[in-house]
């Protein structure tokens, strides 16, 4: 994401997660976690939220404005993958418009539903 005049990465990340938290609460989606990190020239802003409707927690503060940065989002949310993709796109669009930033999604992995875990090894229960 970029902003010619610069932007506050901590505020941007908080606003993004406030939007996603509210969307999850409104739709009844259970959040395991949603984390966003914004990095530029070695400085990092990291914010997370662990429940729909909850306030985000700032885990790492950048303490300066950025003119260009890379954001990474990691989310475990109980909803359809397409719904999460749409919610993230809407949140990014709204926050970008409000902060004067321009964000472009990379050709990364969109949301997906992981398969049921199939452990390689099992530890037998102790005979009691």
pLDDT digits (tens, 9 = 90+) for 19-52: 999 999 999 999 999 999 999 999 999 999 999 9
pLDDT attached to residue 128? 62
Q: Are 35 and 45 in contact (CB under 8 A)?
A: no
Q: Are 54 and 14 in contact (CB under 8 A)?
A: no
Q: Are 65 and 6 in contact (CB under 8 A)?
A: yes
Structural domain spans, the chain:
2-99
Helices and strands of the chain, counted as H and E runs: 2, 6
Q: DSSP H helical segments within the chain, as ranges?
A: 9-27, 81-99
pLDDT by residue (tens digit) across 50-98?
999 999 999 999 989 999 999 999 999 999 999 999 999 999 999 999 9
pLDDT by residue (tens digit) across 63-73?
899 999 999 99
Arithmetic mean of pLDDT over the chain: 92
């Amino acid at each position: 994401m970029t902003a010619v005049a610069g932007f506050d990465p901590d505020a941007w990340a908080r606003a993004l997660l406030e939007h996603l938290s509210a969307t999850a609460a409104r739709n009844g989606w259970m959040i395991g976690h949603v984390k966003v990190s914004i990095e530029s020239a070695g400085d990092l802003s990291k914010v997370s939220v662990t429940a729909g409707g909850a306030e985000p927690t700032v885990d790492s503060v950048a303490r300066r404005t950025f003119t260009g940065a890379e954001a990474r989002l990691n989310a475990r949310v109980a909803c359809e993958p397409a719904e999460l993709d749409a919610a993230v796109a809407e949140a990014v669009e709204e926050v970008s418009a409000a902060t004067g930033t321009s964000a472009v999604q990379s050709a990364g992995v969109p949301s997906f539903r992981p398969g049921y875990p199939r452990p390689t090894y099992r530890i037998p229960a102790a005979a009691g």
